[in-house]
Chain A
Amino acid sequence: MSPPVAPPGWSRWLVPPAALSVHLSIGQAYAWSVFKPSLESALDLNGTQSALPFQLAIVMLGLSAAFGGTLVERNGPRWAMTVALICFSSGFLIAALGAQTEQYWLIVLGYGFVGGIGLGIGYISPVSTLIKWFPDRPGMATGIAIMGFGGGALIASPWSAQMLESFGSDHSGIALAFLVHGLSYAVFMALGVLLVRVPRTEKPVEDGPSAFEGVQVSAASAVRTPQFWCLWIVLCMNVTAGIGILEKAAPMITDFFADTSTPVSVSAAAGFVALLSAANMAGRIGWSSTSDLIGRKNIYRVYLGVGAVMYLLIASFGDSSKPLFILCALVILSFYGGGFATIPAYLKDLFGTYQVGAIHGRLLTAWSTAGVLGPLIVNWIADHQKEAGKHGSALYGLSFMIMIGLLVIGFVANEFVRPVHPRHHIPAPQEVADGRREQPA
């Protein structure tokens, strides 16, 4: 399939909604927990079993983004969005069949495996195209799309809950809810498939920079550069630190103020989690857009350096001041979101637009690693501290110190990021014609 080229006069402001229609849909993955209690009672599952479709979906997200990136670059964004639509929607339809027939393995296969491929391909589908349309503001453009992934859960969480309430929480009700999700998301994502276009010229904005300005590096070469692995560490450390708060946000704020005169109720803790989601989303668009002004390296200095200071403040004074605790947690979560949203523009700065989507896909393995590492650290340490008789904020002190250490490692890795060596560059056509450089295989 050849990429859909924009007709004359096509507005670049049609591309962000196309990207958002995909990201707002696949962001539903983070609202999977809404289905867990109903599945557990309807199909007699335990908590670990009911988490399986989500866990498999996240693994498949990482794998399909890493291995499908080159295909996405070759076939274009419309092909990728179509694949994402088919996989994500049919994943729900297979899961609906599984719920109706009470075959849980079909739910795991449908939502986790098939739907997970949709997540990975959908996540990277608009990145390269957005950067080419907005060479003057790549951080803002990818920030809008990746903000959508955060926003997807905000929409799906109340929507799915209302649906289960209306259809019932037995296996037929869950099946009907899955069916409606699959069909609705297919219609919603169709906008992206219909609207997305690649720019017809290298300069989509008059008097603006060219989308192909600067060095260009292929995905195969990029993974052999130290810059790629420095950014891998940067992303992994930043995400791990964010998940450190996100994973246990509700019990954490309750534990921190349990022994004070103003303990936190269950509903207030839920409000705190909601506020963290808002900070996560705002950070994606806000910090990523700021990176267009102050530069990518500087913004990651802020995420990692100021993030470490925020963790230190929570660890030192968090239990003495609720506003300070909340403020620091919100800043950390905004950096978590910002880190996700700014990374495509950082990759574009280093490796050019040639195969930036494929390189981004490979880098997302850092996310998968952090997704295991972050919860593991916080839960393991909290459990052991509890066994040792500690309580309140003391349960988390060691985790926070480890998070600070990880952020410092990320900060140092960011400092090692330098421009890519010319031997990795794709030669310009003129250089090949002059015999100065050979076209790489």
Chain B
Amino acid sequence: MAGESSPPDRRALIALSWVWVGAPLCYGLYELVLKAKQLFTG
């Protein structure tokens, strides 16, 4: 409809927020994999 502004593009905010929580989680998972490997090598 004319005159109705479209909502702002929030893709960057979505990406940033997922990186915010995803980065520490990846660090935790990486450390977990290092430790779990000991089951097969330890």
| A contacts with B: majority SS | helix
In the assembled complex, A20 has its CB within 8 A of some CB on chain B: yes
**A10 with B39: CB separation less than 8 A:** no
Taking CB atoms, residues of chain A closer than 8 Å to B36 are 271, 274-275, 278
CA distance A10 to B9 in the complex (A): 9
Number of B interface residues, CB 8 Å?
A: 25
Given contacts A9-B7, A271-B36, contact A14 B14 (CB under 8 A): yes
In the assembled complex, A67 has its CB within 8 A of some CB on chain B: no
In the assembled complex, A419 has its CB within 8 A of some CB on chain B: no
Given contacts A11-B10, A151-B25, A154-B31, contact A17 B37 (CB under 8 A): no
**B10 with A14: CB separation less than 8 A:** yes
In the assembled complex, B3 has its CB within 8 A of some CB on chain A: no
| Interface residues in A1-51 (C-beta closer than 8 Å to B) | 7-11, 13-14, 17-18, 20-21, 24
**B28 with A274: CB separation less than 8 A:** no
Return the chain A residue nearest B25 by Cβ: A151
| Interface residues in A115-153 (C-beta closer than 8 Å to B) | 148, 151
**Residues on B close to A: CB < 8 A?**
6-8, 10, 13-14, 17-18, 20-21, 24-25, 27-29, 31-32, 35-42
Given contacts A9-B8, A271-B37, A278-B36, contact A265 B28 (CB under 8 A): no
**A151 with B17: CB separation less than 8 A:** no
**A195 with B10: CB separation less than 8 A:** no
Return the chain A residue nearest B9 by Cβ: A9
**A270 with B21: CB separation less than 8 A:** no
Taking CB atoms, residues of chain B closer than 8 Å to A159 are 27
Taking CB atoms, residues of chain B closer than 8 Å to A401 are none
Taking CB atoms, residues of chain B closer than 8 Å to A158 are 27-28, 31
**A270 with B42: CB separation less than 8 A:** yes
**Residues on A close to B: CB < 8 A?**
7-11, 13-14, 17-18, 20-21, 24, 148, 151, 154-155, 157-159, 188, 191, 195, 265-268, 270-272, 274-275, 277-278, 326
Report A400 CB to chain B, min CB distance, Å: 21
Taking CB atoms, residues of chain A closer than 8 Å to B27 are 155, 158-159
Report B17 CB to chain A, min CB distance, Å: 4
**B42 with A14: CB separation less than 8 A:** no
Report B16 CB to chain A, min CB distance, Å: 9
CA distance A326 to B32 in the complex (A): 17
Report A376 CB to chain B, min CB distance, Å: 28
Q: Which of B6, B18, B32, B38 contacts A278 (CB 8 A)?
A: B32
Taking CB atoms, residues of chain A closer than 8 Å to B37 are 271
Given contacts A24-B25, A155-B27, contact A17 B17 (CB under 8 A): yes
Taking CB atoms, residues of chain B closer than 8 Å to A7 are 7
**B24 with A270: CB separation less than 8 A:** no
Report A252 CB to chain B, min CB distance, Å: 14
CA distance A157 to B21 in the complex (A): 16
CA distance A50 to B13 in the complex (A): 42
Report B18 CB to chain A, min CB distance, Å: 5
28 of the cross-chain contacts (CB-CB < 8 Å) are A10-B7, A11-B14, A13-B14, A14-B13, A14-B14, A17-B17, A17-B21, A18-B17, A21-B20, A21-B21, A24-B21, A24-B25, A148-B21, A154-B29, A155-B28, A158-B27, A188-B24, A265-B42, A266-B42, A270-B35, A270-B38, A271-B35, A271-B37, A271-B39, A271-B41, A271-B42, A272-B39, A278-B29
CA distance A318 to B32 in the complex (A): 25
Taking CB atoms, residues of chain B closer than 8 Å to A155 are 24-25, 27-28
CA distance A159 to B23 in the complex (A): 13
Q: Which of B10, B25, B28, B38 contacts A271 (CB 8 A)?
A: B38
**B42 with A267: CB separation less than 8 A:** yes
**A154 with B32: CB separation less than 8 A:** yes
Taking CB atoms, residues of chain B closer than 8 Å to A151 are 25, 28-29
**A20 with B21: CB separation less than 8 A:** yes
Given contacts A158-B31, A274-B35, contact A24 B24 (CB under 8 A): yes
**B40 with A271: CB separation less than 8 A:** yes
**A274 with B32: CB separation less than 8 A:** yes
